[in-house]
Amino acid sequence: MTETVFCAVYARYSTNNQREASIEDQIRKCRELAATKGWVILDEHIYYDKAQSGTRTNMRHAFKEMMQTAMSNNCPFQRIIVDETSRIARNTKEALDIFSLLTYYGIHVYYVSQGIDTSHETAEEMITINGLIDSLYIRNLSKETYRGIEGQVLSGYNSGGKRYGYRSEPVYNGKVDIYGNPEADGYILKINPDEVDTIIRIFKMFGEQGYSAKKIATILNEEIKRTDAPTPPRGKYWCSSTILGSKKAFRGILNNEIYIGHYYWNRSFSKRNPENGKKKCIAKDSSKWIVVQKPELRIISDELWEKVKKRQKQLQTENSGAYNKSKHSYSVNLLTGLVKCGKCGGNIAIVSGGKWAKYGCSNNWNKGAAVCDNNIKLNKKDFERSVISSLNLNFDKNEHLDYLHSRVDEIIKNHLGQTNPKWRREALGDQLKKTEKEIANFINAIKAGIFSDIVKNQLEKAEKKKAEIEQFLAENQKETSILPEITRNSISMYLQDIRETLSLHPLYGRALLSKVIALAVLQPQIGSHVIDVNCKTL
């Protein structure tokens, strides 16, 4: 008599990927598979995460719960059934990590769509190859979406972004969807009469009345306080950067050529950071921009547009020295984002740049007193010093110095390992072993019946890499080593002024401070101010 196999099921659905099957569909597929195998699914061990993108594993609560159960002493199931590998892992490495972890605890996974059974001896190769195919597929998918949108733009439709001053209207040409409902061919932009006046006012205030973007934001926000209008493109209040744009010249209402009937598309794209899953906007080369002339969308006359451009140019030459310097320091200040305004809860940030940089409430600075009346401005160095000294970092204690010394030594060795011939050889030796294993995996995969161009290409690549490493190792037999001497003393000197040291590498400095500071608040008081700093318990 064979023993009953008990199974758990894991499903995940992410709203930002349209090719995904729903949770219900995924579970149904798993049930069907279990039925054909004669396995029993434990209903209380059906786990699912909804609307979590695959790139953010930290948000997958059900997944974590299942893994904990799987790794516990009396786990009630021997198998996990999953629709496909991408439900569990965001990349091949993760899929393999989960595979070895679960295998260690004696739990096997069955991936229904790909037919992978991790109890099978070729499972590791199968996962690797499926991951490869999957990532190629995803890359192609985003290319196809892009091409689709490009076609829409060129045929006169809107690419989908919301634009201030316009609304998007569907165009029907008799197409129907599978349920017989009318389906839009695309969307076209129409001027939104409710927002036109505000756009013209902004251009006039800047180009004819000579107001700054900050002043314009202040004026509009005071109106919002009184009358709830005019509504800004984003958020509750107007911000100077919405009007003038930040570093990228084509951002901001005053720079948007759509107001003179030039419709641009494809000027930037977003990329996801694999570490934290956050999207980042990246500007594209101007040769890739697509421009379509749409005179029906014009709101601003050429004359007014030119006035604005002329004034922008003037301002740029007037401020060019201070402007460049301050722009540089904007992104890299130690306390940006770490201190909040005691009045409005907004960020305390560098509000005036250059040599006399000052911290202040960004809402007060960018949106005006109607939004926040905390107008305290504090000298950059003094403010940073007082916040940092209140942290009592104690970098000068002996035991801390010893620790730092050994860590610095280790990091230098690791870092120079890439350039030091001896360490480099060792690292290459490791790589060689890894590559050889890869080759063996691909060969096994071919033996197991997977023989596609992808496998063949990867095998050829791995073999080429192996030959290169071997050649390098044969040519570089000699070794020389020069290491800088780092003493406790030099570290201690480096730490004498912690603020100065952290400012040398502001990005690291800020990351470090954010690990220590739980909440810092700049509280205005009559004629003075208080800085409250709460530390995290470490």
What is the contact surface with Zn ion in residues (CB under 5 A)? Answer: 341, 343-344, 346, 361, 363, 372, 374
Whichever of 81 and 522 has its CB closer to Zn ion, that residue is 522
Whichever of 245 and 368 has its CB closer to Zn ion, that residue is 368
10 Å Cβ neighbour count for 421? 13
b (16+ CB within 10 A) / e for 495-530: beebbeebbeebeebbeebeeebeebbbebeeeeee
Whichever of 159 and 363 has its CB closer to Zn ion, that residue is 363
If 0-12 CB within 10 Å is exposed, 13-18 middle and 19+ buried, where does residue 128 land?
A: buried
Q: Cα(80)–Cα(150) distance, rounded to whole angstroms?
A: 42
Whichever of 108 and 343 has its CB closer to Zn ion, that residue is 343
| In the complex, minimum distance from the CB of residue 251 to Zn ion, in angstroms, rounded to a whole number | 24
Whichever of 240 and 374 has its CB closer to Zn ion, that residue is 374
C-beta separation of 376 from 521 below 8 A: no
| In the complex, minimum distance from the CB of residue 335 to Zn ion, in angstroms, rounded to a whole number | 15
Whichever of 126 and 520 has its CB closer to Zn ion, that residue is 520
Q: Cα(518)–Cα(384) distance, rounded to whole angstroms?
A: 16
| In the complex, minimum distance from the CB of residue 284 to Zn ion, in angstroms, rounded to a whole number | 36
Bond prior to 230 in cis (omega within 30° of 0) = yes
Closest CA to 221 of 233, 239, 203: 239
| In the complex, minimum distance from the CB of residue 378 to Zn ion, in angstroms, rounded to a whole number | 13
Whichever of 373 and 479 has its CB closer to Zn ion, that residue is 373
| In the complex, minimum distance from the CB of residue 373 to Zn ion, in angstroms, rounded to a whole number | 8
| In the complex, minimum distance from the CB of residue 308 to Zn ion, in angstroms, rounded to a whole number | 29
| In the complex, minimum distance from the CB of residue 239 to Zn ion, in angstroms, rounded to a whole number | 13
| In the complex, minimum distance from the CB of residue 523 to Zn ion, in angstroms, rounded to a whole number | 10
Cα Rg for the chain, rounded, in angstroms?
A: 30
Integer CA distances (angstroms), 295 to 43, 187, 189, 257, 279, in order: 61, 17, 12, 11, 33
DSSP H or E stretch at residue 80: strand 79-82
Whichever of 156 and 235 has its CB closer to Zn ion, that residue is 235
User: E strands along 320-425, which residues?
Assistant: 339-341, 348-352, 358-361, 377-379
Q: Cα(101)–Cα(63) distance, rounded to whole angstroms?
A: 14
